[in-house]
Amino acid sequence: MNKDSRGLSYSGTDQAGIAKFEEAMAWNFDYRPNGLEKVDALLEAYPNFVMAWVLKGYSIASEGRFEALSNIPLTFVENSSIRIASTPRERKHVLALAAYVQGDIKKSVEIWADILNEWPLDLLAFRQTTGNLFWMGQRQRLVDTASKIAPYWTENTPGYGYFIGAFSFALEEVGEYSLAEKYARRAVEINPSDMWAVHSMAHVLEMNARTDEGIAWIEERHERLPKHNAFVGHIWWHLGLFHLEQGHTEKVLSLFDEYIYPEASSFYLNIQNGASLLKRLEFVGVDVGNRWERLYTGVKDSVGDYLYLFTELHTAMILSRSGNAFQLSQLHSSLSDWSKLRYANETEIAQQLVSGIAAYEGKEYAMASEKILPQRYNLSVLGGSHAQQDILTQYLIDAEYKNGHVHTVTGLMKERVSRRTQWDQKPERFMEMWQKIEAMKDGMSDDIFRQLLRKVQ
């Protein structure tokens, strides 16, 4: 049977087809545009190529909407001759895709984990696992998944950069910044178009208050970024965060309009990027004009349809800021819609946070705090990075500030700083910020509060 560059067997194709399949995978891992066109061309040439069908399904699922899941083609598995000819590994991928179609991501993850236990060089299973574990908030499992198969991967293994790029991000999310940086830089050396590795390095710089380096890291790739698909908007979002921390609010607005959310879009990551950045700007006193309406235009027909609950929190921000109370109520109800597979624990947390966001935007700050405060250490189960989840922390801090709860505000701010400044490794920076926050107890001016909210380190 024909094998790929890592020794994995494939059915329904020949060596030329496998080579094109690996090219299509790399195209997708680089977040280049029109990836499905490459897969469709492959299927036209090899209609019985099981893993090409699987890759198409995974690509469609990456849209992050229940509506998209219904478009995933599973009819190929009904062809008995194709099924009989397929390999055990391929059949497991089909099972994972079938679970995905039902919205049962947790089941898919377990199947991918099973694949990796037997075929540790299955790069597609690895990237599907890590991508979805991220949206399940299982940070330590991200690291464990990469660590258990790392000995199989060496510099000479084809696709090594794609492996260490994903490993890098997993390490960053558990605070292993030095090794995360080493892997991210090496992955980008191997392949400058590896956007996930570029993204991982941006997170390392963000979490270590290296804002000047962060700006330079992204700006030096300015010409390359437009060659990638919608994911690149998230790289621009990181650039916006770096400029926001430095107080360059006009630059942030410019980035928003030109690169981050230039036009109405329902893509889940665009919704997250746009809503969280606008709200961050508002928290530090910036008038964002009518930009919320642009976001509402993008999300209005997709309310409650997002696969990842973290996106729905941003939907709640948009509906609240746009004054759409009826749709906000619909969103809250849709999260427990029996026709879409949700998980009870995550749904309950999401509904509490949606209520908290709505209360804040309705100027019911005591209610906002009551809803968000108990969930502040449960956010990870809804997915998102530390940097992304910080927007919920800002909602809580600002609500408590408006409630006039000085000691709660300073306590929450100290928690936030300790999370971001590696207080045990950089005690001088931590103590400088700690003392500024402590001084707020003697009287908080709006300007000082906004400055400390904007600049975590």
Same domain (yes/no): 126, 1: yes
Same domain (yes/no): 21, 131: yes
| CA-based nearest residue to 185, from 170, 175, 199, 173 | 199
Q: Residues 357-395: pLDDT tens digits?
A: 999 999 999 999 999 999 999 988 999 998 899 999 999
- CATH number, domain containing residue 88: 1.25.40
Q: Is residue 404 part of a domain?
A: no
Which of 342, 362, 381 represents a domain boundary (last residue)? 381
Same domain (yes/no): 124, 66: yes
Burial class (CB in 10 A: 0-12, 13-18, 19+), 182: middle
Q: Residues 36-67: pLDDT tens digits?
A: 999 999 999 999 999 999 999 999 999 999 99
What's the first-to-final CA gap in the chain, in angstroms?
56
* Mean pLDDT of the region 442-446: 80
Same domain (yes/no): 437, 363: no
Average model confidence (pLDDT) across the chain: 92
Same domain (yes/no): 361, 446: no
Q: Is residue 252 part of a domain?
A: no
Q: Is residue 309 part of a domain?
A: yes
What is the 8-class DSSP label of residue 259? I
Same domain (yes/no): 106, 48: yes
> In whole angstroms, what is the distance from residue 116 CA to residue 215 CA?
36
Same domain (yes/no): 370, 417: no
For the chain, helix (H) and strand (E) counts, in that order, are: 25, 0
| CA-based nearest residue to 454, from 397, 408, 403 | 397
Q: Is residue 37 part of a domain?
A: yes
Q: Residues 207-229: pLDDT tens digits?
A: 888 899 999 999 999 999 999 99
Q: Is residue 335 part of a domain?
A: yes
Same domain (yes/no): 284, 415: no
> In whole angstroms, what is the distance from residue 446 CA to residue 126 CA?
47
Supply φ then ψ for residue 276, to 5 degrees: -70, -35
Work out the percent of the chain whose per-residue pLDDT is above 70: 95
> In whole angstroms, what is the distance from residue 379 CA to residue 365 CA?
20
Q: Is residue 394 part of a domain?
A: no
Which of 90, 107, 136 represents a domain boundary (last residue)? 136
pLDDT at 91: 93
Same domain (yes/no): 10, 54: yes
What angle in degrees, to the nearest 10, is found between the helix axes of 386-403 and 365-372?
140
> In whole angstroms, what is the distance from residue 327 CA to residue 300 CA?
8
pLDDT at 440: 85
Q: Is residue 435 part of a domain?
A: yes
Q: Residues 331-340: pLDDT tens digits?
A: 998 888 766 6
* pLDDT higher than 60, residue 424: no
* pLDDT higher than 70, residue 98: yes
* pLDDT higher than 60, residue 421: no
pLDDT at 158: 97
206-220, 296-310, 434-448: the lowest-pLDDT one? 434-448
| CA-based nearest residue to 135, from 379, 382, 376 | 382
Same domain (yes/no): 340, 416: no
Same domain (yes/no): 439, 322: no
Q: Residues 171-199: pLDDT tens digits?
A: 999 999 999 999 999 999 999 999 999 99
Structure tokens at 7: 């020794």
Q: Is residue 162 part of a domain?
A: no
HSE-CB of 241 using CA atoms within 13 angstroms: 29
> In whole angstroms, what is the distance from residue 149 CA to residue 68 CA?
31
Which of 121, 136, 151 represents a domain boundary (last residue)? 136
pLDDT at 259: 96
* pLDDT higher than 90, residue 295: yes
pLDDT at 447: 84
Same domain (yes/no): 4, 124: yes
At 164, the pLDDT band (50, 70, 90 cuts) reads: very high
Structure-model confidence comparison of residues 102 and 366, the more confident one: 366
Contact 28, 53 (CB under 8 A): no
Domain limits for position 92: 1-136
At 237, the pLDDT band (50, 70, 90 cuts) reads: very high
pLDDT at 425: 59
Domain count, the chain: 3
SS3 category, 185: helix
pLDDT at 78: 59
* pLDDT higher than 70, residue 432: yes
pLDDT at 79: 62
